[in-house]
Amino acid sequence: MPLRPVRFFATALVASLAFVACKPTPPAPPVFAPPPTTAPTAAPTTTNASDTHTAHASHGKSKKDVTRWGVDSLDVAVDGNTIHLLLADYATNSKTPALLHLRSTDAGANWSKPVRVEAGATPPLAPHRGMDAQLAVSGAKLVAIWNTAGTGFNGRGPMATAISADGGATWQPGPNPADDGLPSDHSFVDCAADASGTFHLVWLDSRGGPKGLRYANSKDGGKTWSKNATLKPETCECCWNTLAVGTDGSVHTLFRDKNPRDMAVISSTDHGASWSDPAKVGRFNWDFAGCPHVGGGLIVRGSTLHALVWTGATGQSGAYHLSSSDQGQSWSAPQRLGDADARRGDLASTSAQSLAAVWDRVSDGESSIIAAISSNGGKTWTEPKQLSAKGINAAYPRVVAVSGGYRVFWTESVTGQSNVWKSVLLP
C-alpha cells in the first residue's frame, strides 16, 4: 500500500477541569461539530453520546445530544518498525464514527491511506478520549476493539471487535471477547500482544455486582477468546486501564483501585494463567467518592516496570513516575513530573535507561502537551518541554518508541475548526 502524508484530524477539548462521581448523573459531554475534508459543507452531526471524560466536562444531564467534529478517539500500537494508528472519525455525517486504521513504516513521517475497520461489525458507541477504541498488533495480525450500544450506563453495552490477518489491509468482524452474554456496559478496554503472538485483553464490566476488572486472551489473532477471569471484583468505575507485556511472559495491568482511589497493578508471570494480588502504585491514600476519569501509563523494560500515575490527593495532586523491580509487587517512591496541574500521562522506552514521559497540563483555560526524557532509568528527568502550540487545547498524549527516538500523538482543537490529531518526533 503506498504511503502518503496524511491530514491530521482529532478531538476538540474543553478546558474546564472537574471531577464527577460515576454513579450519579454524569456531566454533559463537550460540544463538537462534524468536519468535511476541507471546509464545512454539512450541518453538524448530533449523537446521543456516552459519558464524557470529566476532566473536560461541563455540568449537565447524561445522554445529552452532542455534536462531534473530526476524530474523537485515538490509539496507537507499534510492532517492529511499523506504527499502527486507530482513529474514530466523526467526519462522516453519521451518529457513529468511522473507525480508521493507518500505518507508517518511517517512524510516523508518512501514513498509509485510511482503511475502514468496523464495516460489517456492530457500530461503535461514541468512542472518545479517555474511552478510546483500542488496537493491538502482532506481526500481520491486528485486533481492534470498541464499545457498542446496550443497557449499561449511558447506553453502553457489549464489546465488538474487528480482526486483520494482513497488516490492516483488510478487516473482518470478530467475536465479543466477554463470555457473560450480557448487554450491559463492557468498556475501558486495553489490549496488548506479547512476543508469542498472544493477545491479552482487560476491561471493566459489572456482571453480577459492581464494576470489576476482567481479563481474557486470544492465541489465534482474535478469532476466539479464553474464558474470562476476574482480576479485581471491584474497581473505580470509569478510569482507563493499561496493559503492558514483558519478553519473559509477564503481563501487567495498571488500573485505578477503589477506597482509596490510588492506582494499582496486578501481574502475571505465566502468560496470564494466574495473577497476583493488587499492589498499590504510589500510596497517596486518595479518599474520593467519585471517578476522575484518569488512568496512567505502564511499560516493561527488561525486568523493570515503569508507571506514570496521577492522583488528585490534597497537597499531592499531579503526575508521578514510579518503578518496580519485583514484578509490580513493590514500587519506588513517587517522583513528580511537572507541577500540580500535570495529568493524563503515558510512557515509552527505547533502551534500558532511556524513558520518555508525556502528559497534558491545563493553565489559564488552555491545555498543553508536555514531555520530559530520562537517560538514567527515571532517576532524573530533563526540564519539561511543551510540544503543542499556544492558543489551542491539546490533551490525552500517547508516546511510542520509534527509530530515532519517540513519536508523540495527541488530539487538539481550535475554536471554529475541525478537531485534529497531531504527532511530533521527540529525539
- Per DSSP, the residues of 315-378 read TT-EEEEEEESSTTSS-PPPEEES-TTEEEEEEEESSSS-EEEEEEEEETTEEEEEEEEESSTT
Mean pLDDT of the 323-339 span = 97
Mean pLDDT of the 156-180 span = 98
Residues 254, 281: contact at Cβ < 8 Å?
yes
Q: What is the pTM of this model?
A: 0.86
Mean pLDDT of the 3-25 span = 38
More confident site: 67 or 402:
402
Which residues are CB-contacts of 23 (< 8 A; sequence separation ≥ 6)?
237
Comparing 63-77, 132-146, 299-313, 371-385, the range with the smallest average pLDDT is 63-77
What's the rounded Cα separation, in Å, for the pair 173 and 135? 14
DSSP codes of every residue in 17-33? ---B-SSSPPPBPPP--
| Residue entry with cell 519473559 | 248
| Per-residue pLDDT at 172 exceeds 90 | yes
Could you tell me the residue range of the domain that residue 70 belongs to?
A: 3-426
C-alpha cell at position 128 = 472518545
pLDDT in tens, 78-88: 999 999 999 99
| Per-residue pLDDT at 397 exceeds 90 | yes
Would you place residue 417 in the very low, low, confident or very high pLDDT band (cuts 50, 70, 90)? confident
| Per-residue pLDDT at 38 exceeds 70 | no
Mean pLDDT of the 258-268 span = 97
The predicted structure's pLDDT at residue 102: 98
The predicted structure's pLDDT at residue 159: 98
Residue 371 maps to which CATH number? Answer: 2.130.10.10
| Per-residue pLDDT at 95 exceeds 80 | no
Comparing 15-19, 202-206, 242-246, the range with the smallest average pLDDT is 15-19
| Per-residue pLDDT at 261 exceeds 90 | yes
Residues 178, 201: contact at Cβ < 8 Å?
no
The domain total for the chain is 1
The predicted structure's pLDDT at residue 6: 40
| Per-residue pLDDT at 260 exceeds 60 | yes
